[in-house]
């Protein structure tokens, strides 16, 4: 199969990936590609069809552990293993230990605090009449929540934002390496501080103390890996959920009007936002541990597979009029949070924060409108979102 060089799409892939993915779906559900920024001879597979993507996400022959096919990534070496980089039985063990501390009950207890943080941010933002929504609300809300949940000192949060953003949407390989090195050092020190300071009621403290029935506990490397995953995934995705969701509403005035007229539609609107322009564009790499077929295409052992979440969720074979943003649509079964054993553990928290932020914003800013269309989008294929979102009211 001919290899498609995604680099050749240029800035179009960053600004409007959905149009590019529509062209690819017309040619088939699976493609050999060179991702943007990859070495000239590098090849991966990109899955763009919905049924094929859903099946790939749950296929045990597609491993998240690169070491099984002699592949190592910098973050795994420096940060440590986490639930996105291992397979069962190690994944089952890690998820079980984390799930003991990160429960639905714990998330639900956060609801009043999430509302309070949102209200405080809006109190500060609204008198100005215009703002960058990401800097004023979409970023500070989830980073405050996840830092309080984990027990990260407030003084560290600005620097952490820079490191986190570079690690998931790097501008170049040198910046990515520096960010991961910096995060590894930061998290190591944070965990040691937690150990020295004794018992605390935050999630990281619980993870340090959590013990399974058989006495199993997280190692130092596993703690660092899980702290990395929870901190980075725990806010980067929600930033983009809020930003992309508000942008979708402001560019579809009929849907915005419908939601304003009936805020009971909010939960369904959040699900449609996740389907229409979700925060994660492409799932992290999977590696074929044996030959297999996806969408009639043969994948050889050792080859890398990217599952295009954004691409799959605009598949017309799964959703009627997939490019239409429709808050009354039933988008159940979307894969914005993944599928299978790696389904996002933080999905309930993301939904809580997204619904609280967008609902509160609409209630308190009845004249909300775009001040300028975003023209600077996150690089790479992992995350999907604008760097800034100028709004007025």
Count of other CB atoms within 10 angstroms of residue 111 = 12
Find the helix or strand (DSSP H, E) in which 143 lies: helix 140-150
Q: Is the pLDDT of residue 92 over 90?
A: yes
Question: In sequence order, what E strands does the chain have?
Answer: 3-5, 30-34, 44-47, 62-63, 130-132, 286-288, 292-294, 297-299, 304-307, 369-370, 390-392
Domains of the chain: 3-392 (1.10.630.10)
Weakest-pLDDT range from 190-194, 240-244, 259-263: 190-194
Pairing of strands 304-307, 297-299: unpaired
- Mean pLDDT score, 195-218: 75
- 210 pLDDT tier (thresholds 50, 70, 90): low
Count of other CB atoms within 10 angstroms of residue 88 = 10
Average confidence score pLDDT of the chain? 91
pTM reported for the whole predicted model: 0.93
Q: What integer pLDDT is reported at residue 116 of this predicted model?
A: 98
**Percent of all residues in the chain with a pLDDT value above 90, rounded to a whole number:** 65
* 8 Å CB contact between 339 and 57: yes
Q: What integer pLDDT is reported at residue 74 of this predicted model?
A: 57
Burial degree of 172 (CB within 10 A; 0-12, 13-18, 19+):
exposed
**Percent of all residues in the chain with a pLDDT value above 70, rounded to a whole number:** 96
Residue 38 to residue 98: CA distance in whole angstroms? 34
Q: Is the pLDDT of residue 257 over 80?
A: yes
Q: Is the pLDDT of residue 105 over 90?
A: no
Q: Is the pLDDT of residue 382 over 90?
A: yes
Q: What integer pLDDT is reported at residue 91 of this predicted model?
A: 94
Q: What is the DSSP string of 70-119?
A: T---HHHHHT---TTS--TTHHHHHHHHHHHHS-HHHHHHTHHHHHHHHH
- 343 pLDDT tier (thresholds 50, 70, 90): very high
- 221 pLDDT tier (thresholds 50, 70, 90): confident
- 381 pLDDT tier (thresholds 50, 70, 90): very high
pLDDT digits (tens, 9 = 90+) for 308-334: 999 999 999 999 999 999 999 999 899
pLDDT digits (tens, 9 = 90+) for 231-248: 888 788 999 999 999 999
Q: What integer pLDDT is reported at residue 28 of this predicted model?
A: 97
- Mean pLDDT score, 254-278: 98
DSSP secondary structure letter of residue 341:
G
- 215 pLDDT tier (thresholds 50, 70, 90): low
Sheet containing 369-370: give its strands across. Answer: 130-132, 390-392, 369-370
pLDDT digits (tens, 9 = 90+) for 15-44: 999 999 999 999 999 999 999 988 899 999
Q: What is the DSSP string of 254-280?
A: HHHHHHHH-GGGHHHHHHHHHHHH-SB
Q: Is the pLDDT of residue 78 over 80?
A: no
């Amino acid at each position: 199969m001919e290899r498609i060089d995604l680099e050749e799409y240029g800035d179009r892939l960053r600004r409007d990936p959905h149009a590019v993915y529509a062209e690819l779906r017309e040619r088939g559900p699976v493609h050999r590609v060179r991702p943007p920024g990859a070495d000239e001879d590098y090849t991966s597979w990109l899955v763009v069809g919905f049924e094929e993507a859903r099946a790939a996400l749950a296929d045990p022959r597609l491993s998240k552990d690169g070491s099984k096919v002699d592949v190592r990534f910098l973050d795994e070496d420096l940060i440590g293993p986490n639930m996105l980089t291992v397979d069962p039985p190690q994944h089952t063990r890690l998820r079980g230990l984390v799930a003991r501390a990160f429960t639905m009950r714990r998330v639900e207890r956060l609801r009043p605090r999430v509302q309070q943080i949102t209200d405080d941010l809006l109190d500060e933002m609204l008198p100005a009449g215009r703002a960058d929504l990401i800097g004023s609300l979409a970023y500070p809300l989830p980073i405050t929540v996840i830092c309080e949940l984990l027990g990260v000192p407030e003084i560290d949060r600005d620097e952490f934002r820079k490191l986190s953003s570079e690690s998931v949407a790097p501008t170049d390989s040198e910046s990515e390496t520096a960010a991961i090195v910096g995060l590894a050092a930061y998290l190591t020190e944070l965990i040691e501080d937690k150990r020295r300071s004794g018992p605390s009621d935050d999630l990281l403290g619980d993870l340090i103390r959590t013990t399974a029935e058989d006495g199993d506990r997280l190692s130092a490397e596993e703690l660092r890996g899980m702290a990395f995953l929870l901190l980075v995934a725990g806010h980067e995705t929600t930033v983009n959920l809020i930003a992309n969701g508000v942008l979708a509403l402001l560019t579809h005035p009929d849907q915005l009007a419908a939601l304003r007229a009936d805020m009971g539609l909010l939960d369904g609107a959040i699900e449609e936002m996740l389907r229409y322009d979700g925060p994660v564009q492409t799932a992290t790499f999977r590696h074929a541990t044996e030959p297999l077929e996806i969408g009639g295409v043969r994948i050889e052992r050792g080859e890398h597979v990217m599952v295009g979440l954004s691409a799959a969720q605009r598949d017309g074979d799964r959703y009627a009029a997939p490019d239409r943003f429709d808050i009354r649509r039933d988008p159940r079964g979307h894969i914005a949070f993944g599928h299978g054993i790696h389904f996002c553990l933080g999905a309930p928290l993301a939904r809580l924060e997204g619904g609280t932020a967008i609902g509160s914003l609409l209630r308190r800013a009845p004249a909300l409108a775009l001040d300028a269309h975003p023209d600077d989008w996150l690089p790479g294929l992992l995350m999907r979102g604008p760097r800034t979102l100028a709004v007025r009211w």
